[in-house]
Chain A
Amino acid sequence: MSVLNSKIPAGPLADKWKNHKNSIRLVNPANKRSIDVIVVGTGLAGASAAASLAEMGYKVKAFCFQDSPRRAHSIAAQGGINAAKNYRNDGDSVHRLFYDTIKGGDYRSREANVHRLAEVSVNIIDQCVAQGVPFAREYGGLLDNRSFGGVQVSRTFYAKGQTGQQLLLGAYSALSRQVSVGQVKMYHRHEMLDVVMVEGKARGIIARNLVTGELERHSAHAVLLCTGGYGNVFFLSTNAMGSNVTATWKAHRKGAFFANPSFTQIHPTCIPVSGDYQSKLTLMSESLRNDGRIWVPKKQNDERRPVDIPEDERDYYLERRYPAFGNLVPRDVASRAAKERCDAGYGVGQSKMAVYLDYASAIQRYGTLEANKLGEIQPSAQRITELGTQVVASKYGNLFEMYAKITGDNPYETPMRIYPAVHYTMGGLWVDYNLMSNLPGLFVLGEANFSDHGANRLGASALMQGLADGYFVVPYTLGDYLADDIRTGSISTQDPAFDEAERSVQDQINRLMSIGGSKSVDYFHKALGKIMWDKCGMARSEEGLKQAISEIQALREEFYAQVRVPGSANEMNPELEKAIRVADFLELGELMCYDALNRNESCGGHFREEYQTEDGEALRDDENFAYVAAWEYGQGKAPILHKEDLNFENVKPSTRSYK
């Protein structure tokens, strides 16, 4: 029998969460005052959890490595947040959002978790509006919606192309309110470097004060990791420069299982790489696929300017291959289709590794509509373009500006060049229905856990999951766990477990500082990223993955012999911070390859070249792989696989078709 117990409540799917909430234990308000909770990370999941738990009366300590909790990378999410409000009267419902998410995830997520996510999605919008989040509205004063990839309803709420920013600032304001009343103690410029296990329970963390370099001990009755995803293992990704796996990896080394690590989302619409100095990639929101059309020339190596290529010499390959969903197919499908065209020699731009995202026809369409609205009879072509440009600017202005700043091109006049890039990681620490890892007292929220998106996440669902976990799930489930701790009293940081954890962190820092090699941390990070992108990226094969594992092992050895970390450990030292993070990426990358190698099927973002249909679509194997692969740390040897079988009682897994 599996060591994993998902603790999914019994009963019909739609009643599971309600019944569970009604039956789990509570902690009374007086007892909450004597319970400490540590929240690591202050993005949507962390800030919302810290604020909600503090409002309930728990004493919270929150940590972020940035200079303010408002900087967390949730802030960069552009397009929107899904909710099954059905404000458009277009047939949306909790069930449809549940179904779309399960299907979008290619049947590799848990039904019960996803249904709960869809249920609480509606509460999130209410909560955010009450906080003063300025979502886009219509002239009647009610909330506006748009649609995203992989669905056929409009359920995405948005604030221009800055939805993540506005939602994060909402959560940050709720967190700030709790800091002001003393319910949350905020530790900014602090990085968690280990989790402390006392008698089998997570009871604290070791954090490094990044300004002074001091190691600090913090104790609590439970620890929540809300530390985001690990896309930066690829070096180039749309993640922030500081996004890292360290908190969850340290927990993994302490025994927490890492689930589906190879499930990586490659986002189809990003600005292409321009040179080897490149430090990160920039996403152009999926919302652009609402109105933009994606194409490549029908002729290979066509050197003409895009505007000079006539309509009948363009291949709108998504519309051609997937007529039902067209440009709005899910991300994994759109990304692979772009790669297929570029690999076949139809790519555009200097590198030939890009496709066009074209707004010309949207500008014409909106311009005509706008002229009709204004009662302008027979407007000139120039006038239509002018009006259409205004409409497009009002919808996507900040994205177009960003594109222009980065590339120097004007996207209103010439199509944007885009290419897929690493964006999100569906994998993460394994958690049960209560969001607790297999380590008692260690909870994992948001992108850091594996729970809701299966093998592919749908657009506008990351914000939804982060806030669902923080505002509406963990405030209930944490109480059930903490009900045993009402008589425990405060946890001492003098426990030998703290000594031992602090010593191991100190040893690692000493080791890194003393190598004194000749190569920078970035050198190793870039080398790792290249291995991962080439062999564990959009397409994977048994042979490539085996090579990648040995290359990563060799790179790791070289890292510990050749890296140079300047400065000292007792001061602000950004190179040391990077070195600690890259050391963890060098282990994670190997695990991702093991996971990808184990999964002899293609599903969602995981595409094994050996397993595809004749027309190049992913070939899933439900008989043998309808499970969550949860890996136990190998302690220097190969990782150990534990399986959690996925049972589909309400949705019958079928081949995803967006044709």
Chain B
Amino acid sequence: MSSKTMRLNLKIWRQKGPKANGKMVDYTLNEVNPEMSFLEMMDVLNQQLVERGDEPVAFDHDCREGICGMCSMFINGRAHGPMTGTTTCQLHMRHFNDGDTIVIEPWRASAFPVIKDLMVDRSAFDRIIQAGGYISVNTGSAPDANALPIPKENADMAFDAATCIGCGACVATCKNASAMLFVGAKVSQLSLLPQGQPEREERAIRMVEQMDKEGFGNCTNTGACEVECPKGISIENIARMNREYLRAKLVQK
């Protein structure tokens, strides 16, 4: 454990509101402890900004455990920063060096408009789930949980897809701002489970249509989403979604 502190040069995107023009602003931060998380470093900066009468940098964050999916910074050209399998809140300053310049921007995609500074509006993801990312079962009508055995392998694959935290790193990192990893993960989870079969076709079609309507781009198989996904969601899920969509179109009544 090193107790040596660092001095950092930060270049941060500042934008007053959704319609305002934004710009990069330079800040210098001294005495950054390598044991801090990235967001704690931002807290220290904000604390200093408040104390000297400036406006702190607005950014989304909540659980700080890498699971809620709220944090969303583009750090040195990478979604959630330099480490793989890591959300911004779980990124620690020990991965940076004294004297580094760090460029911090919001997710950039036309389907994710900036609200303020580093905060963006990701409600498009909610609308995609609303279009079909569920199994239609009313409370109280479920059969016994063990009535339907599910092969462990399928359950595990469904789980792996279901770990998506909806942060939007896949969109932010994709040159086409495609949301296919996000959509593919949900389509896969539900199509792999027997409970998801009755609505399988309708779900694939409706979710893909909503995704297109929101203005997300297409997938050109560069695979950047898989690399940047903090939960390691595989692009196999995109392939499965494409198969599900094709199948649905073929059998559509």
> Interface on A for B, CB 8 Å cutoff?
48, 51-52, 55, 66-73, 75-76, 85, 87, 123, 125-132, 134-143, 159-160, 162, 164-166, 169, 172-174, 176-177, 179-180, 186, 188, 211, 238, 240-242, 274-275, 277-280, 282-283, 350, 401-402, 405-406, 408, 471-472, 475, 518-520, 522, 564, 566-567, 571-572, 574-575
- Roughly how many angstroms separate A179 CA and B128 CA in the complex, as a whole number? 12
Binds A, one of B33-41, B97-105, B219-227, B239-247: B33-41
Q: Which residue of A has the minimal Cβ distance to B137? A: A130
Give the residue of B64, B90, B126, B138 whose beta carbon is less than 8 angstroms from that of A279: B64
Binds A, one of B6-14, B48-56, B172-180: B48-56
Nearest CB on B from A96, distance (A): 19
> Are B166 and A68 within 8 A (Cβ)?
yes
- Roughly how many angstroms separate A75 CA and B231 CA in the complex, as a whole number? 14
Contact-size category for B: 35 or more
> Are B62 and A73 within 8 A (Cβ)?
yes
> Are A406 and B144 within 8 A (Cβ)?
no
Q: Which residue of A has the minimal Cβ distance to B87? A: A405
The listed residue with most B CB atoms (<10 A of its CB), out of A66, A130, A177, A275, is A130
> Are B60 and A408 within 8 A (Cβ)?
no
> Are B68 and A132 within 8 A (Cβ)?
no
- Roughly how many angstroms separate A128 CA and B50 CA in the complex, as a whole number? 45
> Are B145 and A143 within 8 A (Cβ)?
yes
Q: Which residue of B has the minimal Cβ distance to A188? A: B123
Q: Is B146 on the interface with A (CB-CB < 8 A)?
A: yes
> Are B67 and A76 within 8 A (Cβ)?
yes
Interface residues of B in 188-221 (CB under 8 A from A): 189-190, 193, 195-196
Residues on B with C-beta less than 8 A from A518 are 51
Q: A51-B139, A241-B64 are in contact. Are A134 and B189 (CB under 8 A)?
A: yes
> Are B67 and A141 within 8 A (Cβ)?
no
Residues on B with C-beta less than 8 A from A71 are 62-63, 68-70
Nearest CB on A from B67, distance (A): 5
Residues on A with C-beta less than 8 A from B248 are none
Q: Is B122 on the interface with A (CB-CB < 8 A)?
A: yes
Ordered by A's residue number, 20 sampled pairs between the chains whose C-beta atoms are within 8 Å are A48-B139, A67-B122, A67-B123, A126-B145, A130-B135, A132-B134, A132-B190, A132-B196, A134-B156, A159-B162, A162-B163, A166-B159, A176-B133, A177-B134, A177-B136, A240-B68, A277-B43, A278-B40, A472-B139, A572-B58
> Are A131 and B61 within 8 A (Cβ)?
no
Nearest CB on A from B153, distance (A): 9
- Roughly how many angstroms separate A240 CA and B143 CA in the complex, as a whole number? 34
> Are A240 and B145 within 8 A (Cβ)?
no
> Are A141 and B58 within 8 A (Cβ)?
no
Residues on B with C-beta less than 8 A from A125 are 145
- Roughly how many angstroms separate A248 CA and B163 CA in the complex, as a whole number? 31
Q: A67-B122, A68-B122, A406-B90 are in contact. Are A75 and B159 (CB under 8 A)?
A: no
> Are A134 and B152 within 8 A (Cβ)?
no
Nearest CB on B from A176, distance (A): 4
- Roughly how many angstroms separate A279 CA and B62 CA in the complex, as a whole number? 11
Give the residue of A52, A87, A128, A241 whose beta carbon is less than 8 angstroms from that of B146: A87
Residues on A with C-beta less than 8 A from B46 are 520
Q: Which 8 A/B pairs are nearest by Cβ-Cβ distance?
A: A141-B149, A173-B134, A130-B142, A134-B159, A126-B142, A180-B130, A52-B139, A129-B145
> Interface on B for A, CB 8 Å cutoff?
1, 16-17, 33, 35-37, 39-40, 43-44, 46-47, 49-51, 53-56, 58, 60-70, 83, 85-86, 90, 92, 94, 115-116, 119, 121-123, 125-126, 129-131, 133-146, 148-152, 155-156, 158-159, 162-163, 165-166, 189-190, 193, 195-196
> Are B134 and A131 within 8 A (Cβ)?
yes
Q: A67-B123, A405-B86 are in contact. Are A173 and B17 (CB under 8 A)?
A: no
Residues on B with C-beta less than 8 A from A275 are 33, 35-36
> Are A141 and B150 within 8 A (Cβ)?
yes
Q: A68-B166, A143-B146, A572-B17 are in contact. Are A408 and B64 (CB under 8 A)?
A: no
> Are A140 and B149 within 8 A (Cβ)?
yes
Residues on B with C-beta less than 8 A from A131 are 134-135, 137, 195
Q: Which residue of A has the minimal Cβ distance to B135? A: A132
The listed residue with most B CB atoms (<10 A of its CB), out of A134, A179, A518, is A134
Q: A134-B189, A176-B129 are in contact. Are A571 and B116 (CB under 8 A)?
A: yes
- Roughly how many angstroms separate A67 CA and B62 CA in the complex, as a whole number? 10
Nearest CB on B from A384, distance (A): 24
Residues on B with C-beta less than 8 A from A75 are 63, 67-68
> Are A566 and B50 within 8 A (Cβ)?
yes
Residues on B with C-beta less than 8 A from A67 are 60, 70, 119, 121-123
Tell me what chain B mostly uses at the interface: helix, strand, loop, or mixed: loop
> Are A279 and B195 within 8 A (Cβ)?
no
Q: A126-B145, A408-B94 are in contact. Are A279 and B133 (CB under 8 A)?
A: no
> Are B64 and A401 within 8 A (Cβ)?
no
> Are B64 and A280 within 8 A (Cβ)?
yes
Residues on B with C-beta less than 8 A from A174 are 134, 137, 139
Q: Which residue of B has the minimal Cβ distance to A568? A: B55
> Are B44 and A571 within 8 A (Cβ)?
no
The listed residue with most A CB atoms (<10 A of its CB), out of B86, B122, B134, B140, is B134
> Are B56 and A127 within 8 A (Cβ)?
no
> Are B145 and A402 within 8 A (Cβ)?
no
- Roughly how many angstroms separate A138 CA and B155 CA in the complex, as a whole number? 10
Nearest CB on B from A156, distance (A): 14
- Roughly how many angstroms separate A522 CA and B47 CA in the complex, as a whole number? 8
Residues on A with C-beta less than 8 A from B163 are 162, 165
Residues on B with C-beta less than 8 A from A472 are 139-140
- Roughly how many angstroms separate A123 CA and B39 CA in the complex, as a whole number? 40
Nearest CB on A from B53, distance (A): 7
- Roughly how many angstroms separate A584 CA and B18 CA in the complex, as a whole number? 30
Q: Which residue of B has the minimal Cβ distance to A51? A: B139
- Roughly how many angstroms separate A143 CA and B144 CA in the complex, as a whole number? 11
The listed residue with most A CB atoms (<10 A of its CB), out of B62, B163, B166, is B62
> Are A522 and B43 within 8 A (Cβ)?
yes
Residues on B with C-beta less than 8 A from A162 are 67, 163
- Roughly how many angstroms separate A278 CA and B152 CA in the complex, as a whole number? 40
> Are A68 and B123 within 8 A (Cβ)?
yes
Residues on B with C-beta less than 8 A from A574 are 56, 58
Q: Which residue of A has the minimal Cβ distance to B2? A: A408
> Are A402 and B90 within 8 A (Cβ)?
yes
> Are B1 and A350 within 8 A (Cβ)?
yes
> Are B69 and A55 within 8 A (Cβ)?
no
Nearest CB on A from B21, distance (A): 16
Residues on B with C-beta less than 8 A from A408 are 1, 35, 92, 94
> Are A566 and B126 within 8 A (Cβ)?
no
Q: Which residue of A has the minimal Cβ distance to B139? A: A52
Give the residue of B85, B130, B155 whose beta carbon is less than 8 angstroms from that of A177: B130
Residues on B with C-beta less than 8 A from A137 are 149-150, 152, 155-156
Nearest CB on B from A243, distance (A): 8
Q: Which residue of A has the minimal Cβ distance to B69? A: A71
- Roughly how many angstroms separate A76 CA and B68 CA in the complex, as a whole number? 7
Nearest CB on A from B139, distance (A): 4
Nearest CB on A from B251, distance (A): 21
- Roughly how many angstroms separate A85 CA and B145 CA in the complex, as a whole number? 9
Q: Which residue of B has the minimal Cβ distance to A85? A: B145
Q: A172-B129, A174-B134 are in contact. Are A564 and B50 (CB under 8 A)?
A: yes
Q: A402-B90, A566-B50 are in contact. Are A179 and B145 (CB under 8 A)?
A: no
Give the residue of B64, B122, B143 whose beta carbon is less than 8 angstroms from that of A130: B143
Nearest CB on B from A419, distance (A): 15
- Roughly how many angstroms separate A123 CA and B1 CA in the complex, as a whole number? 48
> Are B40 and A277 within 8 A (Cβ)?
yes
Q: Which residue of B has the minimal Cβ distance to A133? A: B162
Residues on B with C-beta less than 8 A from A87 are 146
Nearest CB on B from A573, distance (A): 8
Give the residue of B35, B131, B140 whose beta carbon is less than 8 angstroms from that of A127: B140
> Are A73 and B63 within 8 A (Cβ)?
yes
- Roughly how many angstroms separate A113 CA and B56 CA in the complex, as a whole number? 46
- Roughly how many angstroms separate A176 CA and B44 CA in the complex, as a whole number? 37
> Are B65 and A402 within 8 A (Cβ)?
yes
Q: Which residue of B has the minimal Cβ distance to A184? A: B130
